[in-house]
Amino acid sequence: MTEYVVLVNEQGDAIGTMEKLEAHEKGLLHLAFSVLLYRETDLGKEFLLQKRAECKYHSKNKWSNTCCSHPRVNENVEVAGTRRLNEEIGITGVFPEQFVNLGWFIYQAELENGLSEHEQDYILIANTPDVNFILNPEEVSDIQWWSEADIEKELKVNSDTFSVWFPTVYKKVLTHLQQAN
């Protein structure tokens, strides 16, 4: 099935659609979302990160937020986030109304294979202490709960471990969670 993305302008208004790979080849601004699930433990917050599959056409073998993708035409980002949690890692117990939508940011990055990310990326978070997962090997090769300390250490020592968008997503989530306390 051919996948399409929603093209947007700098204000976030939809201006059309394009095949996903073509949008990444041309570096055109399009809608995306990043889901980051977290849980509270006795030692602090932990974040559920996925390692992107070897077969992904970009950012393969990179650790990233719980899931990320693009909403379909006329699909809101919370519904899309729920859909992709199920498709990528088999999580069925998170529902659109559980997400806190932190808004969006725009980023652009050249990728390792000549493609370009240029996304209006919505950040969705949810506190989910008990989730079960079944990895889709075409999307994800590993999934782990990471402590704040482990993420911070890895970002300082080897930021290439992560997808290009993850540090921004993570920092915005941390800021929100710190302000919420």
Out of 78, 119, 139, 152, the active site residue is: 119
Tell whether 139 is in a known binding site: no
Tell whether 88 is in a known binding site: yes
Tell whether 30 is in a known binding site: yes
Instruction: Based on the residue annotation, tell me whether 67 is a catalytic residue of this protein.
Output: no
Out of 46, 67, 68, 78, the active site residue is: 68
Which residue, among 77, 70, 89, has the nearest Cα to 21 in the 3D structure? 70
Instruction: Based on the residue annotation, tell me whether 54 is a catalytic residue of this protein.
Output: no
Tell whether 19 is in a known binding site: no
The residue assigned the tokens 């379909």 is 72
Tell whether 154 is in a known binding site: no
What DSSP assignment string belongs to 70-137? Answer: -PPTT--HHHHHHHHHHHHH---S--GGG-EEEEEEEEEEE-TTS-EEEEEEEEEEEE-SS------T
Could you list the residues known to form a binding site for Mn(2+), using ranges. 24, 30, 70, 117, 119
Residues designated as active site: 68, 119
Could you list the residues known to form a binding site, using ranges. 24, 30, 70, 88, 117, 119
